[in-house]
Copies of this chain bind each other. A is one copy, B any other.
Amino acid sequence: MKAEIITIGDEILIGQIVDTNSVFIAKELNKIGIDVYQITSVQDEEKHILQALSVASKQVDVVIITGGLGPTNDDITKLTLCKYFNDSLTIDTEVLANVKALFKSLGKSISQLNKDQALLPTKATALHNKYGTAPGLYFDEGGVIYVSMPGVPFEMKALMKDEVIPRLKQRFKRPHIFHKTVLTYGMPESDLAEKIMPWEAALPAFIKLAYLPGFDRVKLRLSARGENALVLKENLQLQLEKLETILGNIIKGYEDEEDLQNLIAKQLTKQNKTITTAESCTGGKIAAELAAIPGASNFFKGGIVTYATITKTEVLGIPPAIIDEFSVVSAQITAEMAKRAKKLFNTDYAIATTGNAGPTKGDSDAEIGSVFISIAAPNRQETYAFNFGNGREKVTEKAVKKAMLLLLDDFLLEEEKQNK
């Protein structure tokens, strides 16, 4: 079962908006076992849309179209669909009543353009749009389903969940699909791919492996697909166990697509502990990641950014003599920062970073790319040294991720020790 998503509108093609609609639609389709074969963004132009529809109809079973259903002139999806299906428009009285009711509830007068939203292709089933005037359109032609929705994200999302997914579930016999994601911890990432190669090669055909990006660490997703749910689940479990034997530390109970900061939040909440940050090169990014978690106030008390050297002495109270001795970007100063922030904010944990993100050496003599990270825990503290290469943004980003991973490792390795 394959789908193609076609997004219509110039905004995406000139790089003005990020296409998050496709992300949502792809996720929803995947969950019910429909593969997204292709995502295509095309201009608001009849000929181009017709061509994209024609290509899609030959390669997939479901075509989901968003955008170009509004009342303005450059929104031409509806007319183009009419042409594509050799169809004509007719007033849908139910949709017209909905448009009128919506304008009445907003206290606005209704224009002819708005009324025209109720003109629908005769071959289409109207999908009720709870939040807007343009209904979704559903066509079942030549064995292919075509769905057209407005591009406004919350209108599209409601249509997708309430109208489209239930119809697709009913229309197609789909295979079962199960995913398991594995995040490794406490091990170097360098040669993991080679290590698991023989295991990967021996995977049964109905289980697919994907390397997921974004964690600066090996994160793998196994997807099993087929007719027999029990067989799929058993085999997924079996492969997960094999993988654990090969790799050692993998996070159990790790939920699909869960963010690193949520894993950390779970650990802190479970332990009923608090945390603070003392950042130099990461400039507040670690604090921001922690603060972004809903409910952060349960474990994140706050943090400090001591960017200039003088703030390390004057605000955190690190003796200038130590800085002179070891230099401001050093394991010693990073460890001091973590220790002192933990005390200042009165927390159980602290993460500290110093480093030189470049492009110039700034306050320190440290090599560009060199970063120190210190994790202070209730009864232990570890400080690590890295070189993340060049590129200011990249160095900072890597430092943030590495700090979060080291913190998570600390939690998990400590838990393991406690359990022994």
Min distance, Cβ A75 to any Cβ of chain B, angstroms: 9
Residue-by-residue, is A268-301 near B (CB-CB < 8 Å gives 1, otherwise 0)? 0000000001010111111110111011110011
Q: Out of B28, B55, B74, B302, which one reaches A210, CB within 8 Å?
A: B74
- Asked if residues A288 and B291 are in contact (CB atoms below 8 Å), the reply is no
- Asked if residues B39 and A212 are in contact (CB atoms below 8 Å), the reply is no
Question: Which of A40-48, A88-96, A411-419 forms part of the interface with chain B?
Answer: A40-48
**Which bracket fits the contact residues of A?**
35 or more
In this assembly, does A321 line the interface, its C-beta being within 8 Å of a C-beta of chain B? no
Query: Which residues of A from 4 to 59 have beta carbons under 8 Å from B?
Result: 10-20, 22-28, 30, 35-43, 48, 52, 55
Contacts of A234 in B (CB 8 A): none
In this assembly, does A135 line the interface, its C-beta being within 8 Å of a C-beta of chain B? no
Q: Out of B25, B48, B311, which one reaches A345, CB within 8 Å?
A: B311
- Asked if residues A297 and B363 are in contact (CB atoms below 8 Å), the reply is yes
- Asked if residues A296 and B283 are in contact (CB atoms below 8 Å), the reply is yes
Min distance, Cβ A65 to any Cβ of chain B, angstroms: 14
- Asked if residues A292 and B300 are in contact (CB atoms below 8 Å), the reply is no
- Asked if residues B38 and A39 are in contact (CB atoms below 8 Å), the reply is no
- Asked if residues A13 and B39 are in contact (CB atoms below 8 Å), the reply is yes
> Contacts A38-B42, A74-B211, A389-B105 given: A113-B194 contact, CB under 8 Å?
yes
Residue of B nearest to A13 (CB): B36
In this assembly, does A193 line the interface, its C-beta being within 8 Å of a C-beta of chain B? yes
In this assembly, does A83 line the interface, its C-beta being within 8 Å of a C-beta of chain B? no
- Asked if residues A15 and B38 are in contact (CB atoms below 8 Å), the reply is no
In this assembly, does A245 line the interface, its C-beta being within 8 Å of a C-beta of chain B? no
Residue of B nearest to A209 (CB): B74
Residue of B nearest to A10 (CB): B210
Interface centre among A40, A308, A387, A394 (most CB of B within 10 A): A308
**A interface SS class:** mixed
Contacts of A288 in B (CB 8 A): 282-285, 288
CA distance A286 to B285 in the complex (A): 9
Q: Out of B38, B52, B277, B315, which one reaches A344, CB within 8 Å?
A: B315
In this assembly, does A248 line the interface, its C-beta being within 8 Å of a C-beta of chain B? no
Contacts of A396 in B (CB 8 A): 291-292
CA distance A26 to B296 in the complex (A): 37
A-B contacts, 21 of them at CB < 8 A, read A11-B210, A12-B22, A12-B23, A15-B22, A15-B24, A17-B23, A18-B19, A19-B39, A105-B389, A109-B191, A131-B390, A154-B397, A281-B291, A282-B291, A283-B287, A284-B286, A285-B288, A294-B392, A297-B362, A300-B307, A302-B311
Apart from A15-B24, A109-B191, A291-B307, list 7 A-B contacts with CB within 8 A: A15-B25, A17-B214, A22-B41, A73-B193, A106-B387, A108-B190, A302-B306
